[in-house]
Amino acid sequence: MLSDVHGNLPALRAVLDDVDGAQTQALWCLGDLVGYGAQPDECVRAVSERCDVCLAGNHDLGVIDDIDIADFSPHAARAARWTRDHADRSTLEFLRSLDPSDDGEVIGLYHASPRDPVWEYVLSGSQAAECMDFMPPRVAAIGHSHVALRFTRTNGRMEGEAVAGGTRLDLSEGDWLVNPGSVGQPRDGDPRAAWLLLDVERWTAEWRRVEYPVADAAAAIDEAGLPTSLGERLYLGQ
């Protein structure tokens, strides 16, 4: 499972290589294929070819003008306009085919949250508890925040934390919200691309991090004329 690719092709390629090594049976993407990075067509093409399920994120919806980018930060709005102007027609058509949630899998899949799949950042235990009360399944996956997280409620007790790469947890008991972190723009201080390996038969989850050539992604951003800070932050994982 992956999320928040944001047009970062070097990061996506590294994650897909790691996915191949893990011999997964299905691949789900929680949205934001495009956004801050400079290679939206290549990322959308790769995701459309590889992913069994793909959601729309708020940046995807902004690029196709389904939501108002006036609500974006200045750099996010600039990147959305650039993507809208430079993306292939096939890229935009694929983004238009996506929805921000999917309740048809063994777990719930939401770009942002079960109660607001486009905009809500789930970053606190109280938010997570309200989302768990709202969502139909026991386990759900969310993206949007760019931070690898887990929230767990067992016997009424809520726990939540950022999750480091290499962490493996048992999801067989209680209610869960899991966030794989971001492929293309991590914001948890770890610049490595993030994804989540989920086993829905044994109910285990492993948060994985992958090194990738950050300089290549930053150079593509500079060459496209996007804000330099969008490339610089990739080195910091912020």
Assigned domain for 89 exists: yes
The average pLDDT across 5-14 equals 98
Segments forming the whole domain that contains residue 197: 9-232
Q: What is the Cβ-side half-sphere exposure of residue 88, based on CA atoms within 13 angstroms?
A: 10
Assigned domain for 238 exists: no
pLDDT at 89: 97
Number of domains in the chain: 1
- Residue range 70-89, pLDDT digits in tens: 989 999 999 999 999 999 99
pTM of the model: 0.96
Assigned domain for 150 exists: yes
**Mean of pLDDT over the chain:** 97
- Residue range 118-169, pLDDT digits in tens: 999 999 999 999 999 999 999 999 999 999 999 999 999 999 999 999 999 9
Q: Report CA 231 to chain centroid distance, whole Å.
A: 18
pLDDT at 228: 96
AA letter at 230: L
- Closest among 216, 174, 176 to 196, alpha carbons compared: 176
Assigned domain for 55 exists: yes
- Closest among 55, 53, 9 to 30, alpha carbons compared: 55
Assigned domain for 81 exists: yes
pLDDT band at 217 (very low <50, low <70, confident <90, very high): very high
Assigned domain for 19 exists: yes
β-sheet bridge partners, residue 150: 161, 178
Helix or strand or coil: residue 132?
helix
pLDDT at 97: 98
pLDDT above 90 coverage of the chain, percent = 98
Residue 218 belongs to domain with CATH number? 3.60.21.10
pLDDT at 33: 98
Assigned domain for 237 exists: no
Assigned domain for 181 exists: yes
